[in-house]
């Protein structure tokens, strides 16, 4: 049955679509591999090879991925055509890899008419290059807070992937497959995309409205409705923490009931759990933005940076200054 569908597709005319993958140091190995494998399967399921690609680095030299491995690099940052699609592949340390040369090349590619996309955290490069003004963008959940702080005027979407005006972005993970299937369908046909999804055993192609990050209650396997609602409130109110009494009142339970829920399901007090969430966000901001330690402390709900530094050291075994590598606030 599958072979017959492939044979029918092989009668279609060939019209090659070129992808230019730009890999940055410590790019997500899984994200890159899924994008490449999706295109490889699309060629297998299609007439001839409608999709072609090259892998680039800034200077044409190999770079290591998140696993420490290297893939062959075809070229440096060379010119591209208006029908090409540039895909930036990056990882958690994307901010430090946004070099002036890379940003200038991305802007030039956009001016020449190329479509521009970012996988995992590639949207950071696109935003830094000024390509996302007025357009929705998504990024890996671990970088969302730092992205929002760094680019307050860019519309940060909750979607797993975004497609608009030849600008593409994904939140990483399996959302990369969703985006690549969308692009395959856009250039080739929906049937090819469905065949590829079948090959990947990925039969439920997600639509855009799915959240880019699993809610905290789902991540820890929490099914209690009241506690799930409280955790969501905490996660969205880190800069101005809500008092436990007010959290309890919001979900119509007593403060004592709130304490019991946290002890039973999370083995912590509400205050301690909330503090850990705020410190985790602070860690992300310190690693992923240029914000000063003082501004990070404020963004995470601490009134005094000295108090923040003491709690941070207790939680992570080092001061915020040491983590950041700064000598002063």
Domains and CATH numbers, the chain: 2-199 (3.40.50.880), 216-324 (1.10.10.60)
The conformation of residue 247, written as its DSSP 8-state character, comes to H
- Each residue of 30-53: pLDDT tens digit? 999 999 999 999 998 887 788 999
pLDDT at 45: 86
Q: How many helices (H) and strands (E) does the chain have?
A: 15, 8
pLDDT at residue 8, as a whole number: 44
pLDDT score, position 11: 42
What percent of the chain is modeled with pLDDT above 90?
A: 53
Give residue 59's pLDDT. Answer: 93
Number of other CB atoms surrounding residue 52 within 10 Å: 12
Taking a C-beta distance cutoff of 8 angstroms, is the pair 138, 212 a contact? yes
Q: Using alpha carbons, select from 60, 62, 115, 120 the residue that is nearest to residue 90.
A: 120
Instruction: Pinpoint the alpha helices (H) of 25-174.
Output: 29-45, 100-111, 122-128, 144-150
Per residue in 177-215, pLDDT (tens digit) is 999 998 998 886 778 888 888 888 875 555 444 444 545
Average pLDDT over residues 264-273: 90
Q: What does the CA dihedral 131, 136, 137, 141 come to, rounded to 10 degrees?
A: 150
Query: How confident is residue 158, by pLDDT bands cut at 50, 70 and 90?
Result: confident
Angstrom distances, CA of residue 275 to CA of 177, 178, 222 = 35, 35, 19
> For residue 156, which phi and psi values (nearest 5 degrees)?
-90, 115
- Per residue in 71-130, pLDDT (tens digit) is 999 999 988 888 899 999 999 889 889 999 999 999 999 999 999 999 999 999 999 999
List CB contacts of 221: < 8 A, sequence separation 6 or more. Answer: none
pLDDT value at position 328?
38
Location of structure tokens 């969308």: 182
Whole-structure pTM value: 0.68
Give pLDDT, residue 190: 78
pLDDT at 15 over 90: no
Paired with 56 in beta bridges are 22, 75
What residues are paired with 64 via a beta bridge? Answer: 70
Q: Average per-residue pLDDT in the chain?
A: 86
Q: Is the pLDDT of residue 322 over 80?
A: yes
């Amino acid at each position: 049955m599958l072979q017959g569908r492939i044979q029918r597709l092989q009668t279609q005319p060939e019209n090659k679509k070129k992808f230019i993958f730009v890999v940055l140091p410590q790019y997500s190995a899984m994200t890159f591999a899924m994008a490449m494998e999706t295109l490889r399967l699309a060629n297998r399921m299609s007439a001839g090879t409608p999709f072609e690609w090259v892998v680039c680095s800034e200077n044409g030299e190999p770079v290591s991925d998140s696993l420490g491995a290297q893939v062959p690099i075809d070229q440096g940052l060379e010119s591209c055509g208006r029908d090409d699609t540039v895909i930036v592949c990056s990882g958690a340390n994307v901010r430090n890899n946004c070099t002036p040369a890379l940003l200038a090349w991305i802007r030039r590619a956009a001016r020449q008419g190329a479509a521009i996309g970012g996988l995992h955290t590639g949207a950071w490069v696109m935003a830094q290059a000024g390509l996302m003004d007025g357009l929705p963008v998504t990024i890996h959940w671990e970088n969302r807070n730092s992205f929002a702080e760094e680019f307050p005027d860019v519309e940060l979407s909750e979607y797993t992937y975004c497609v608009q005006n030849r600008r593409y972005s994904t939140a990483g993970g399996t959302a990369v497959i969703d985006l690549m299937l969308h692009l395959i369908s856009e250039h080739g046909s929906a049937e090819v995309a469905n065949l590829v999804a079948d090959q990947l055993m990925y039969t439920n192609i997600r639509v855009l409205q799915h959240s880019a990050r699993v809610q905290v209650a789902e991540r820890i396997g929490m099914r209690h409705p009241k506690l799930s609602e409280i955790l969501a409130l905490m996660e969205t109110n880190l800069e101005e923490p809500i008092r436990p009494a007010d959290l309890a009142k919001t979900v119509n339970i007593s403060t004592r009931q709130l304490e019991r829920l946290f002890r039973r399901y999370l083995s912590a007090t509400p205050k301690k759990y909330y503090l850990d969430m705020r410190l985790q966000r602070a860690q992300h901001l310190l690693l992923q933005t240029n914000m000063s330690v003082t501004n990070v402390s404020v963004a995470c709900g601490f009134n005094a940076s000295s108090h923040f530094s003491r709690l941070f050291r207790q939680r992570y075994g080092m001061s915020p200054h040491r983590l950041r590598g700064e000598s002063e606030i």
